[in-house]
Amino acid sequence: MFGSAGRTKVCFFLFLLFFMEAGAAGPQESSARTCGAREVASPASAGTVFSFVPGEVLVTFRNGETDGKVRDLVEFSGAESTKIFEGLSRETGKTFALFASRNMTTEDLLSAFSRDPAVESVSPNFLRKTLSVVPNDPYFKEQWGLSNPGVEGGASGADIDAPGGWVTRTSCLPSKVVAVIDGGIQRDHEDLAPNLWSGPGGIIGFDFVRDDSDPDDEHGHGTHVAGIIGAVGNNGRGTTGVAWEVRLMILKTGDKEGVHTMDRLLEAYSWILDRKREGVDIAVVNTSMGGAEFIQAERDALSAFAARGILVVAAAGNDGSDNDSSPVYPASYSLPNIISVTATDRSDNLAWFSNYGSSVHVAAPGEDILSTWLPGAPAGAGDSQEQSALYTSGYAGMSGTSAAAPFVTGVAALACSQFPGESMNQVRGRILQGVDVLESLRGKIASGGRVNLHRTLDPSAPEREPNSTAGGCSAGGSLSMAALLAAPLLLAVFGK
């Protein structure tokens, strides 16, 4: 029903490039390849390796140039095709386009467009890589991030206090939608299928890798992230998400290797803005991927989300580094709607791989996180029979800030439903102010704390002391005692 941005074949300004200096404005390409892309060393980052698609550039034209004007600007050049991101262009009043050439280098294209006064910005078509660690062996058999009893070397209460929060609310309003920009989803998974958004014609989102409306997961990462946000709760199967019922809109930008090209991400951002304009109440967007490059077009897109009241929850990165000095985007864009999330372990310490800094806002559980996976996936070498059965049935463990971000997305989705009359900024404030402040995070991240569902939904709930057992279920609120007891029981029965 909803296709990707139109592709227009054009001829492209050959004589202009012949009379310009080559190589002055762009990164140097090497012969190394990652999923069809070249890897380049950034001169500003002391040997850090970044990747982009060779022969392609993303261009932002000032003042919303028309399609005809764009074609005039590139007439006689060397590109064979262009793609205009129509939804994003309409929303911002600028024109965003991708230009591709088989004959011209990236640096030649950068040099040509950077000299044009109609161009606001130009960059290579950089890649974003999924911020994850491959499914781990052995798998931990319980969802400690939701409710941590202090076993397996962990600290009691080192969790988001989901049972305490579920006293107030377990599910989202039917109108609220969470967009998951990732590697797709296993759409028939027993713990996910009932919680998928359904649009016109029954679509659940869009696949920008294959350009169709079936965003199937070829990697596993997207399915894992979606399960943390919203695996069906209290259904006697597998795991439970932070939100037991939620509408998950799936935007597939990552390929089977977990690589996201910037043009696919911009298409996803455009698609979301179009659906929002059509009246779909997209409240939160989860982005569990990142890269080191600041892309003005991406920032403009996420700023447009802010103008539409859409929260963006982003993984802070898995380099164990300071994001203030080595930013990871989109988490590091300074925008009022972004929540940058790092990861804690089961003892409430900053996970060994986690990025930090004053530009990182909150922490959430992110080490050895059990969630949904691709059913039938082969087990790893050395796995026990029990571990192999878990993996093959469609569940697996994963570590990374990719796994931490969806905990916060789930909290945000429930908060938007609990306080539907509040603004994006108010809901964001509730999440940041409702954290459990931890000594291990003081001075490391802006809030100094790990997200707490209970305190986000119920500001009167007391802040828990580290390693305390406060929280859990009660007979109060809108749920029956039987329903409340079912959630932790699932952890005990199905997590082991």
pLDDT of residue 101 exceeding 60, the answer is yes
Q: What tokens were used for 202?
A: 């029954």
Q: What tokens were used for 459?
A: 């500001």
182 annotated active-site: yes
Q: What number of other Cβ atoms are within 10 A of residue 6's Cβ? A: 11
Give the sign of the dihedral formed by CA 154, CA 157, CA 162, CA 163.
positive
Ramachandran class of 314: left when φ > 0, alpha when ψ lies in -120 to 50, beta otherwise: beta
Taking residues 460-473, what's their average pLDDT?
47
Summarised one tens digit per residue, pLDDT across range 473-490 is 222 222 222 222 222 212
Catalytic residue among 108, 159, 182, 191: 182
217 annotated active-site: no
Q: How far is residue 334's CA from residue 10's CA, in Å, rounded to a whole number?
A: 36
Catalytic residue among 101, 402, 417, 440: 402
Residue 237 — pLDDT band, cuts 50, 70, 90?
confident
Catalytic residue among 189, 221, 224, 361: 221
CA-only gyration radius of the chain, Å: 23
Going from the C-alpha of 226 to that of each of 179, 186, 221, the distances in angstroms are 10, 10, 9
Q: What tokens were used for 332?
A: 């590091």
Q: For 117, which DSSP code?
A: T
Parallel, antiparallel, or unpaired: how do β-strands 247-252 and 282-287 relate? unpaired
Summarised one tens digit per residue, pLDDT across range 356-381 is 999 999 999 999 999 999 986 655 54
| Of 13, 9, 25, 42, nearest in space to 108 by CA | 25
334 annotated active-site: no
> Helix H segments across 231-376?
262-277, 296-307
> Helix H segments across 256-347?
262-277, 296-307
Parallel, antiparallel, or unpaired: how do β-strands 282-287 and 311-315 relate? parallel
| Of 287, 284, 403, 415, nearest in space to 342 by CA | 403
Residue 113 — pLDDT band, cuts 50, 70, 90?
confident
Query: Which strand (E) or helix (H) includes residue 480?
Result: none
Q: How far is residue 125's CA from residue 268's CA, in Å, rounded to a whole number?
A: 15
- The amino acid that residue 158 corresponds to is A
Residue 236 — pLDDT band, cuts 50, 70, 90?
confident
